[in-house]
Amino acid sequence: MNEPKGFKSWIFTTDHKKIGVMYLVTAMIFFVVGLLLATVMRIENMDMSRQVIIGPQLYNVAFTIHGAAMVLFWMIPILLGFFANYLVPLMIGAHDVAFPRLNALSYWLYVGSGLIAVLALVMPGRLDTGWWAYPPYSIKTTANIAFYVFAVHLLGASSIAGAVNFITTIVTLRAPGMTWGRLNLTVWGIFGAFIIQLVGVPVLAAGVTLLLFDKYLGTSFYDAFKGGSPILYEHLFWFYAHPAVYVVALPVFGIVSDIISTFSQKKVYGYTSMAAAIMVITVLGFETWVHHLYVASTENWSRVLFMWATILIGVPTGIKTFNWLATLHKGSIDLKTPMLHALGFISLFTIGGVTGIANGSVGFDIHVHDTHWVVAHFHYVLAISMSMLCIGGIYYWFPKVTGKMYNESLGKFAFWLTLIGAMIAFLPQFHLGIEGIPRRYWKVPIRYAGEMRIAAIFSFIAILGFLLTIFNILKSAISGPKAPANPWNSKSLEWQIPSPPPFYNFEEIPVITEGPYEYGKPEGDVKKGH
Amino acid sequence: MENVAHGGMHVSGGIHHEVELSAWPFVTAVGSFLLPISFMLAFSWGMSHLGLLVAGIALVVVLVGLFGWLNQVHAKKGETSISKIAIIIFICSEVALFGGLFAGYLYTLLPAGVWPPANTPAGVPPIGLAVVMTVFLLTSSATIHNAESQLEKGSAGGTSAWLMLTSVLGLAFVLCMAYEWHHLISDGFTVSTNSYGMFFFLITGLHGSHVIVGLIMQLFVLLMVKQGKMSKNRHVFATVTGLYWHFVDVVWLLVVSLIYVIPYVKLGQ
Q: Identify the pLDDT of residue A255.
A: 98
Please name the member of A146, A202, A217 whose beta carbon is closest to the beta carbon of B96.
Answer: A202
Q: What's the average model confidence in pLDDT over A276-304?
A: 94
Cβ <8 Å between B96 and A200 = yes
Phi and psi at B177, nearest 5°, equal: -65, -45
Say if residue B113's pLDDT is above 90.
no
B10 CB neighbours in chain A (<8 A) are: 95, 508-509
Task: Report the residue of A509, A511, A512 to disrupt the B interface, i.e. the one with the largest count of B CBs within 10 Å.
Answer: A509
pLDDT confidence of residue B228: 82
State which residue of chain B sits closest to A124, comparing Cα positions. B45
Dihedral angle of Cα B209, B213, B214, B215, to the nearest 10 degrees: 100
Q: Which residue of A has its CA nearest to B83?
A: A168
What span, in angstroms and rounded, lies between the C-alpha atoms of B225 and B219?
10
- Helix ranges restricted to H, B187-257: 195-226, 236-255
Q: Are residues B132 and B214 in the same domain?
A: yes
- Residues of B within 8 A of A95 (CB-CB) are 8, 10, 17, 19
Omega cis (within 30) before A500: yes
Helix-helix angle A337-360:A243-264, to 10 degrees: 140
Q: How many domains does chain A have?
A: 1
Q: Looking at residue B123, what is its pLDDT?
A: 85
- Using CA atoms, how far residue A439 sits from A130, A371, A444, A530, in Å, is 11, 5, 9, 59
Q: Residue A362 has what pLDDT? A: 94
* Interface contact A105-B10, CB threshold 8 A: no
Contacts of A165 in chain B (CB under 8 A): 86
pLDDT of B59 over the 70 cut? yes
A2 within domain boundaries: no
Determine, yes or no, domain membership for A6: no
In tens, the pLDDT along A167-199 reads: 999 999 999 999 999 999 999 999 999 999 999
Picking from A115, A176, A227, the nearest residue to B33 by CB comes out as A115
* Nearest CB to B21; choose among A8, A116, A509: A8
Residue A1 has pLDDT above 70, yes or no: no
Residue A194's domain comprises: 15-521
Candidates B20, B72, B108; nearest CB to A227: B108
Cross-chain residue pair A232–B202, CB shorter than 8 Å: no
Contacts of A1 in chain B (CB under 8 A): 7-8
Residue B199: domain span? 80-268
Task: Give pLDDT, residue B17.
Answer: 47
Asked if residue B8 has pLDDT above 50, the reply is: no
C-alpha of B151 from chain center: 22
pLDDT value of residue B76 = 66
**CA of B191, closest CA in chain A: separation in Å?**
6
Do the Cβ atoms of A382 and A352 come closer than 8 Å? yes
Angle of helix A56-68 relative to helix A100-122, nearest 10 degrees? 170
Lowest mean pLDDT among A126-130, A197-201, A326-330, B153-157: B153-157
Q: Would residue A3 count as lying in a domain? A: no
Other beta carbons within 10 Å of A275: 22
- For A232, A249, B32, B162, the CA distances from A201, given in Å and listed in that order, are 16, 16, 18, 36
Q: How many domains does chain B have?
A: 2
Q: How confident is the model at residue B267 (pLDDT cuts 50, 70, 90)?
A: low
Q: With CB atoms and an 8 Å threshold, state whether A164 touches B90.
A: yes
Do residue B191 and residue A213 have CB atoms under 8 angstroms apart? yes
Question: A89-103, B16-30, B138-152: which range is least confident on average?
Answer: B16-30
Which tens digit of pLDDT belongs to each residue from A60-105? 999 999 999 999 999 999 999 999 999 999 999 999 999 999 999 9
Judge if B128 and B39 occupy the same domain.
no
The reply to whether B60 and B103 lie within a common domain is no
What's the CATH number where B147 sits? 1.20.120.80
Distance CA A442, CA A45 (A): 7
Indicate the residue of A14, A173, A207 with minimum beta-carbon distance to B21.
Answer: A14
Percent of chain A with pLDDT over 70: 97
Percent of chain B whose pLDDT exceeds 70: 90
**Contact: A219, B2; criterion CB under 8 Å:** no
Report if residue A528 sits inside a domain. Answer: no
What per-residue confidence (pLDDT) applies to A29?
Answer: 97
Would you state the pLDDT for residue A310?
94
Which pLDDT tens digit goes with each residue over B160-184?
Answer: 999 999 999 999 999 999 999 999 9
Average pLDDT over residues A397-425: 97
Cβ separation B25–A14 shorter than 8 A: yes
Contact B162, B152 (CB under 8 A): no
Q: State whether B159 and B204 are in the same domain.
A: yes
Q: What is the pLDDT of residue A6?
A: 80
Residue A2: phi and psi, rounded to 5, are: -110, 65
Residue B12 in this model has a pLDDT that exceeds 60 = no
- CATH number, residue A496: 1.20.210.10
pLDDT of residue B2: 30
Query: pLDDT tens across A483-492, in order?
Result: 999 999 999 9
pLDDT beyond 70 at A363:
yes
* A229, amino acid identity: S
- Angle among Cα A7, A13, A17 to the nearest 5 degrees reads 110
- Identify whether residues B55 and B185 lie together within a single domain: no
Q: Residue B12 pairs with which residues in a beta bridge?
A: B15
| Contact in structure between A188 and A254 (CB atoms under 8 Å) | yes
Instruction: For chain A, give the mean pLDDT.
Output: 94
CA distance A221 to chain B (A): 7
Residue of A111, A171, A235 lying closest to B85 (CB–CB): A171
Q: Are residues B38 and B68 in the same domain?
A: yes
- Checking if the pLDDT of A530 tops 50, the result is no
pTM of the entire structure? 0.94
- Residue B175's alpha-carbon distances to A508, B23, B171, B181, B245, in angstroms, are 54, 36, 6, 10, 17
Option in B2, B8, B39 nearest A507 (CB): B8
B137 min Cα distance to partner chain A (Å): 25
Asked if residue A420 belongs to a domain, the reply is yes
**Residue A297 in this model has a pLDDT that exceeds 90:** no
Candidates A7, A105, A139: best to mutate against B (most CBs of B within 10 A) is: A105
For residue B141, which of B104, B115, B166 has the smallest C-alpha distance?
B166
Average pLDDT over residues A390-418: 97
- Give dist(CA B92, CA A199) in Å, integer: 7
Domain assignment present for A111: yes
- Exposure class string for B19-39: b at 16+ Cβ within 10 A, else e: bbbbbbbbbbbbbbbbbbbbb
CATH of residue B37's domain is: 1.10.287
Residue of A97, A119, A160 to mutate, interface with B, max B Cβ within 10 Å: A160
Nearest CA in chain B to A5: B21
Please report residues of A whose CB lies closer than 8 A to that of B192.
Answer: 218-220
Hey, which residues does A404 pair with through a beta bridge? A482
| C-beta of residue A423 within 8 angstroms of C-beta of residue A473 | no
| Residue B152 pLDDT | 87
B73–A101 C-beta distance less than 8 A: yes
Smallest Cα distance from B21 to chain A, Å? 5
Asked, for residue A239, whether it belongs to a domain, the answer is yes
Q: Is the pLDDT of residue A528 over 50?
A: no
* Rounded CA separation A105/A162 (Å): 9
Q: Could you give the residue ranges of the DSSP H alpha helices within A426-507? A: 427-434, 449-479
Lowest mean pLDDT among A29-33, A111-115, B156-160: B156-160
Task: State how far residue A2 is from chain B, nearest Cα, in angstroms.
Answer: 7
Chain B residue nearest residue A202, CA to CA: B97
Please check whether residues B67 and B98 belong to one and the same domain.
no
Predicted confidence (pLDDT) per residue in A495-514, tens digit: 999 999 998 899 889 999 99
Tell me, yes or no, whether A84 lies in a domain: yes
User: Residues of A with CB below 8 A from B25's CB?
Assistant: 14, 101-105, 108
Both B103 and B165 in one domain: the answer is yes
Nearest C-alpha neighbor of A270 from the set A328, A229, A311: A328
**Is the pLDDT confidence value at B147 over 90?**
yes
Q: Which of B13, B25, B73 sits opposite A176 (nearest CB)?
A: B13
Interacting residues of A322 by C-beta distance below 8 A, sequence separation 6+ = none
**A499, A502, A504, A505: CA torsion to nearest 10:** -20
Sign of CA dihedral B251, B253, B257, B259: positive
Q: Does residue A19 contact residue A13 with C-beta atoms inside 8 Å? A: yes
User: CA-to-CA distance for A80 and A195, rounded, in angstroms?
Assistant: 12
Report how many helices (DSSP H) and strands (DSSP E) chain B contains, helices first: 8, 0
pLDDT at A160 over 50: yes
Are B201 and B191 in contact by the 8 Å Cβ rule? The answer is: yes
Give the three-class secondary structure for A371. strand
User: What is the full DSSP assignment across B55-87?
Assistant: HHHHHHHHHHHHHHHHHHHHTS---HHHHHHHH
Report yes or no: A403 and A470 within 8 Å, Cβ to Cβ. no
Q: What is the mean pLDDT of the segment spanning A427-449?
A: 95
pLDDT of residue A529: 44
Report CB contact under 8 Å: B202, A153.
no
Q: Is the pLDDT of residue A355 over 60?
A: yes
CB contact under 8 A, A206 and B100: yes
- Residues A407-416 as b/e (b if ≥16 CB within 10 A, e otherwise) read beebbebbbe
Partnered with residue A511 across adjacent β-strands are A528
Q: Summarize pLDDT for A331-353 with one digit per residue, the tens.
A: 999 999 999 999 999 999 999 99
* Distance between CA atoms of residues B74 and B82, nearest Å: 15
Q: What share of chain B is helix, strand, coil (3-state, %, to 5)?
A: 75, 5, 25
Mark yes or no for CB contact B192/A219 under 8 Å. Answer: yes
Residues B173 and B259 in one domain: yes
The model's pLDDT over A100-134, given as tens digits with 9 standing for 90+, comes to 999 999 999 999 999 999 999 999 889 999 999 99
User: Residue A257 — φ and ψ, nearest 5°?
Assistant: -60, -45
CB A477 within 8 A of CB A489: no
Taking residues A254-278, what's their average pLDDT?
Answer: 96
Between CA A117 and CA A125 the distance in angstroms is 12
Contacts of residue B69 in chain A, CB cutoff 8 Å?
A: 101
Q: What is the mean pLDDT of chain B?
A: 88
Q: Is B150 found in the same domain as B34?
A: no
- Residues 6 or more apart whose Cβ sits within 8 Å of residue A39: A459, A460, A463
- DSSP, residue by residue, A83-118: IHHHHHHHHHT-SS-S-HHHHHHHHHHHHHHHHHHH
Q: From the list B89, B191, B194, which residue is nearest A167 (CB)?
A: B89
Look at residue B233 and tell me whether its pLDDT is greater than 90. Answer: no
